[in-house]
Structure 1
């Protein structure tokens, strides 16, 4: 009987240890840092498909969007942040709030689908924005642009979704060199980063966007391959994003996988360990 009691106690202690570990992990993810794996190429070359980073959730304070989501379609698991903290949604405020800065790379919840997106913040509340001939204008003034060579990558399937890159010199056959024009863009506050261009298309010529109070305007650095605030939500874009939908700021890449899974360590990119996000 004593042996059975000890065995039962050991099982119970193991269960408690697992529960405590999950609770601690949940609190850590809710309050401090959330892991994020880059699934698409909309932020090239700042972020590549397969980059793994932690999002700083302390940067802007906390809202309903700070609650973690756990979505694993293969096992039918779909627990959304709104399922847990939806009671706090709707007032567009944050606890311990801090304002984001123009140029921040931000993870946010899509205002309609609730899925996590990562883009660069270029428009603040009250700003007037327009893209003219591919050049971003903020409050009637063009941002700084300077040619910065060519971005090159291999034309092949990338990431678990097998996405193929669009190429300015395309179509490019499998294994060929895919090229995009690269420029350095500088915002009014002095933040600079690389943007890529592929073709002259509709998103290079837009009307005027007036950012509402309490909302923000986001764009991908891979300008011709990004569904962002230039497109309304009804057309598959994200439109203006409420303050409460911000999850956190991307500060540093932990590691990066060029393969189909982050677990394939032999595909990790050696030059992206602990790389800062500019």
Structure 2
């Protein structure tokens, strides 16, 4: 009997074992890439669902909703209030036929919607007329179903001049501390359902006297609170102009709260200006 170890034994292999193929090792880099892509896909899906069906941010780009909303306000809108249509989805994806879980808005609601006739821009206005209502402006006075909506003069609306203000010379003023301000005539309107809000009346314009509008079925009549500086349902549908009657299916959501506001003086390369430009008193303001 041979006491010397065989080559297999010396190599730590059982005697007679056949040469085997070493198990493949997956490259660590490819595994990390797959995990990252999986995470990003799940994140994108979560954002899509949240923004489409629950809550979405919106930034105010114009002064048509002064005094309630200022240029540079950021707000959240809830998406479930009026049902869902393709306009609830990013890029108007045609995944929802018609309108589901439909519900009409309430007079006085501030809504974000796809603006006719192009239906590809997000606008924000206040709901004034519902299906079947008649709406008219006479001498700057709002009439709803033939009755004047109470309009009470209150203190002027004052806004500090900043990069996010566009104050016409007629409304420029100076505060007691010497800072430049915009001063606008302000009124309080109260709708028949008791909803009250402030509006601006900057003087006599073509928007102050209109025909009688009869709101058709499945549509709403929307107006800006800055009554003399708002292209809204008082004007016929025109790209970049009026919006006429707005289909309820175009409504994306209801404004609920300001979560940020800036006067426009911040610079991205100067982080401390992010705080000095914030309008802190407007953050958390509800509707």
| TM bin (shorter chain) | 0.7 to 0.9
Q: Which residue of 1 aligns with 2:197?
A: 193
Kindly report structure 1 stretches of 4+ aligned residues shifted beyond 6 Å.
Answer: 1-4
Report the counterpart of residue 229 of structure 2 in structure 1. 225
Q: Shift of residue 167 of structure 1?
A: 5.8
**Cα deviations by residue, 1:113-156 (Å, 9 ceiling, x for unpaired):** 22111000000111111100101000110001111110112344
Q: Which protein is bigger by CA-based radius of gyration?
A: 2
The gaps in structure 1 that reach 5 residues or longer are 69-79
- TM-score if structure 2 supplies the norm length? 0.82
Q: Does 1:48 align with 2:100?
A: no
Decide which of 257, 264, 287 is 1:259's aligned counterpart. Answer: 264
Provide the C-alpha distance between the structure 1 equivalents of 2:86 and 2:32, rounded to a whole number of angstroms.
38
1:38 equivalent to 2:44? Answer no
2:139 equivalent among 133, 137, 154: 133
Aligned to 1:169: 171
Change (3 A) 1:204 1:30: same
Distance in 2 (alpha carbons) for counterparts of 1:200 and 1:171: 21
Matching of residues 108-187 of structure 1 within 5 Å? 108-114=113-119, 115-158=121-164, 164-166=166-168, 168-169=170-171, 176-187=180-191
Q: Distance in 2 between matches of 1:248 and 1:127?
A: 22
Please tell me whether the aligned partners of residues 154 and 178 of structure 1 are also in contact (alpha carbons under 8 angstroms): yes
Is this contact kept in 2: 1:168–1:197, CA < 8 A? no
1:85 maps to 2:83: no
Q: Is the 8 A contact 1:166 1:198 kept in 2?
A: no
Work out the CA distance in 2 between the residues paired with 1:246 and 1:181.
Answer: 30
- Partner of 2:283 in structure 1? 273
Unaligned runs of 5+ in 2: 1-22
**Structure 2: distance between partners of 1:214 and 1:171:** 44
Q: TM-score, normalised by structure 1?
A: 0.85
- What root-mean-square deviation, in Å, do the aligned CA atoms of Structure 1 and Structure 2 show? 2.3
Asked if 1:239 is matched to 2:240, the reply is no
Q: Report the counterpart of residue 110 of structure 2 in structure 1.
A: 105
1:208 matched residue in structure 2: 212
Aligned 8 A contact 1:168 1:198 in 2: no
Cα distance 1:168–1:190, how it changes in 2: closer, same or farther (>3 A)?
Answer: farther
**Residue 61 of structure 1 pairs with residue 83 of structure 2:** yes
Change (3 A) 1:59 1:166: farther
Instruction: Between the two structures, name the one with larger relative contact order (CA 8 Å, sep ≥ 6).
Output: 1
Give the Cα separation in 1 of the matches to 2:213 and 2:267: 38
